[in-house]
Structure 1
Amino acid sequence: MSDAMQTANDSGVTTRHESPTGLDLDRLRDWLVVERPGLVLGELSASLIQGGKSNLTYELTDGVHQWIVRRPPLGKIMATAHDMRREYQAADALRHTDVPVARMIAYCDDKDVLGTDFYLMERIAGVPYRYADEIKPLGEERTRAIGTELVRTLAKLHRVDPADVGLNHFGRPEGFLGRQVKRWKQQLDASFTRELSGADKLYEKLAAAVPSESASGIVHGDFRLDNVLMGANDLPAAVIDWEMATLGDPLLDLALMLIYQRRARIVAARAWTDPATYEVTMAPGYPCEEEIMALYEAESGRSLEGFGFYLGLACFKLAGISEGVRYRHINRQTVGEGFEDSGSTVPLLLGLGLESLKEYK
């Protein structure tokens, strides 16, 4: 049975547990029985968690326990992207710090199991706020508090010394920003389906403006509110989605978080935008860009001098990510819903990047 598993419920009726696309439950169970004896107590069932546009995330259960399984997307991907081992190692290394993370349970690099590498982690109870309508009922005061704790959590991550948690060989901080510029140019080239005005110009300006030196630390790679599970007390329960984690310049994390916020405001200003799709940063009470930057500086102790370059690079990076998702959707390599508009804001991001480069000199 590779497509479904059969079990009998209390009344003796046989039910079928379908394997969702990308997750063979038979093979997964066989592997877990060997690698983590006693972990699984019943037949497995799983469902794809909607919302993510990159790695595939599934909720897995044996009827008693619940876990999360993460694997790369289907289809062709960049060699350095969607690195499950990297994601697993980063979160596992931070388990004894004040950065909240889920407990890592098992990592598999045997392609015979699921056709790719993957990992299993504990399921954390928490809310990944994505849209303004999800957080508005909490009120402005709680919304502001949640946004504030998000920034403080980012500063906590950036205060961690990689050597103290065994991540001193996790990446190459030297030359990080220059490699990022080249990487996202390669991503745009590899995802080519249309002409993108401004892409070459932004790349050239970024390549010419790379700082000769920059700070170093642990970089999450995609830090934003819907990549943090907020607990019942409005405090972060776990930072998730570490697929792009590395050692490099932490200011790129802050810049990308702010570019998500800028993009959301530009999109929301369009007359045809459905208010139900407003992103969480549009909710009343959510901290503004100036407040976020001031709080981050105070909490992290890092200077934001020359921050315009980071904002421009963040736009280029997000454009590369979005165009990659669009490419996979066009080539029917995505699973789930919500990909129809993938890449729609790429031209906006390229223009925003050129403008952002002029700021915070």
Structure 2
Amino acid sequence: MEHTEGIDGIDVEAVTRWLGERLEWLAPPLAFTKLTGGHSNFTYRVDDEGGRAFVVRRPPLGELLPMAHDMGREFTLISGLWPTPVPVPEPLAFCEDPEVTGAPFFAMGFVDGGPIYTEEDVVARIDGVADRAKTGPSFIDTLAALHAVDPDEVGLGKLGKRDSYVGRQLNRWYASWNASKNRDLPDVDRLHDFLAERLPEQAETRVVHGDYGLHNCVVGRDGTVLAVVDWEISTLGDPLADLAYCVNWWDRDDSPARMEGFDPPEALVERYGITTGRTSARSSTTAASTTGRRSASCRASTPATSTARSPPKAWTSTTSRCGSTSTWPRPSPWPAASDPWRPRPAWRAQAWSAVERFAG
């Protein structure tokens, strides 16, 4: 295997030396392959002479927004979650010294699968339509597993502030916009004010991913989630915000989850509620024994195959979940059609609507 030279963002000699001092199994020389696909950070597959593969991540080049691309935060997250049922790559080593290769970086285990961004990814990475039926349950059960973790028990209790997660996110996004904008867009200001006036109450605090979707999951050929990645914006917050965000991702117009074989978004919300016991968007049920019994019952009674999704613009789907049959209409437009300023469904509003329907 040839020693890689001149790869963007990596001082191969320095990184090889640094890793060799910490990973006793490492067999140089190392071959670095930069991975593509919309990653927020530079991500490299690394193969050593002994045939072992792992991954190195570092921030992109150039000037970065404050608190963006936090490698230490991401490594702390996967280190804390590695012993739990949440599937994450194995944490290997973290370098906070930018002198090694120009920025902090970390190494983690390689997971053989890939993220899902497009319909082409679905076709290439999931074996068949029948296997897509496994993706939704695996995807939402993984989120439920994350939200079952007590952050204090895994060393993540000081990851961030515990209250007003959605408000904090809104303030941060608005501050980032104001720091980077090159012109005024009054609609952005109006959207901020609209959302600020409608912040949901936070009932409990858990580790939240912040950008949970199949684009940040390593999906196997059988359609199941093998690992969750891209944790650098994760913090403590409202688990229902994570749920709302991923449901919104699942049901957006260009989502690959609209393809035949995938569960509709309301099925994800229902399964999450049954698995976690969170039966209301404004309250939480955290009895572990009840959650465990419900989860086991749901897995036992859920059919092996799922109702295929119908055309995206107008549909009603019926399926069986844990002994019940539900009919799911599409979300209504947001804001109301009578509102003179009515953007396309944005941020988490459409997904919060799905959570509200579940709660009702």
Query: What's the TM-score, normalizing by structure 2?
Result: 0.74
Aligned to 2:278: 302
- Name which structure has the greater RCO, CA cutoff 8 Å, separation 6+: 1
Aligned to 1:289: 265
- Contact kept, 8 Å, 1:133 with 1:283, in 2: the verdict is no
Alpha-carbon distance, 1:16 to partner = 6.0
Aligned to 1:162: 151
The reply on whether 1:103 has 2:90 as its aligned counterpart is: yes
Determine the C-alpha separation between the residues in 2 that align with 1:248 and 1:23.
34
Counterpart code for 1:123: F
The reply on whether 1:152 has 2:141 as its aligned counterpart is: yes
- Contact kept, 8 Å, 1:198 with 1:350, in 2: the verdict is no
Determine the C-alpha separation between the residues in 2 that align with 1:305 and 1:16.
53
RMSD of Structure 2 on Structure 1 (CA): 2.5
1:133-148 to 2 correspondences below 5 Å: 133-136=120-123, 138-148=127-137
The reply on whether 1:122 has 2:109 as its aligned counterpart is: yes
Counterpart code for 1:172: K
Alpha-carbon distance, 1:239 to partner = 1.2
1:1-361 to 2 correspondences below 5 Å: 17-36=4-23, 38-64=24-50, 65-136=52-123, 138-196=127-185, 198-263=187-252, 265=253, 268=254, 279-305=255-281, 351-353=344-346, 356=350, 359=353, 360=356
Alpha-carbon distance, 1:203 to partner = 0.5
Alpha-carbon distance, 1:243 to partner = 1.1
Determine the C-alpha separation between the residues in 1 that align with 2:260 and 2:187.
33
Determine the C-alpha separation between the residues in 2 that align with 1:295 and 1:234.
17
Determine the C-alpha separation between the residues in 1 that align with 2:44 and 2:184.
35
CA deviation profile, 1:321-356 (whole Å, cap 9, x unmatched): xxxxxxxxxxxxxxxxxxxxxxxxxxxx96322874
In structure 2, the residue corresponding to 1:18 is in which secondary structure?
A: coil
Alpha-carbon distance, 1:131 to partner = 2.0
CA deviation profile, 1:184-240 (whole Å, cap 9, x unmatched): 101222231344452111100221222344321010111111322123444322111
Determine the C-alpha separation between the residues in 1 that align with 2:183 and 2:247.
27
**Structure-2 change in CA distance of 1:16 and 1:100 (3 Å):** closer
**Structure 1: runs of 5+ lacking an equivalent:** 1-8, 10-14, 269-278, 308-348
Alpha-carbon distance, 1:90 to partner = 0.8
Alpha-carbon distance, 1:306 to partner = 6.2
- Contact kept, 8 Å, 2:58 with 2:71, in 1: the verdict is yes
- Contact kept, 8 Å, 1:32 with 1:39, in 2: the verdict is no
In structure 1, the residue corresponding to 2:197 is in which secondary structure?
A: helix
Query: What's the TM-score, normalizing by structure 1?
Result: 0.74
Determine the C-alpha separation between the residues in 1 that align with 2:206 and 2:168.
16
Alpha-carbon distance, 1:33 to partner = 2.7
Determine the C-alpha separation between the residues in 2 that align with 1:164 and 1:235.
27
**Structure-2 change in CA distance of 1:294 and 1:239 (3 Å):** same
Determine the C-alpha separation between the residues in 2 that align with 1:195 and 1:356.
26
**Structure-2 change in CA distance of 1:175 and 1:134 (3 Å):** closer
**Structure 2: runs of 5+ lacking an equivalent:** 284-341
Alpha-carbon distance, 1:304 to partner = 4.5
Determine the C-alpha separation between the residues in 2 that align with 1:306 and 1:193.
38
Structure 1 or 2: more helix by fraction: 1
- Give aligned pairs, total: 293
CA deviation profile, 1:293-320 (whole Å, cap 9, x unmatched): 111111122244369xxxxxxxxxxxxx
Counterpart code for 1:131: T
Alpha-carbon distance, 1:52 to partner = 2.4
Determine the C-alpha separation between the residues in 2 that align with 1:227 and 1:210.
26
Counterpart code for 1:352: P
Determine the C-alpha separation between the residues in 1 that align with 2:273 and 2:54.
36
- Contact kept, 8 Å, 2:248 with 2:350, in 1: the verdict is no
Q: For structure 1, which segment, 123-132 or 238-247, has the greater mean C-alpha deviation from structure 2 after superposition? A: 123-132
Q: Percent sequence identity over matched residues?
A: 32
Determine the C-alpha separation between the residues in 2 that align with 1:283 and 1:358.
23
Counterpart code for 1:208: E
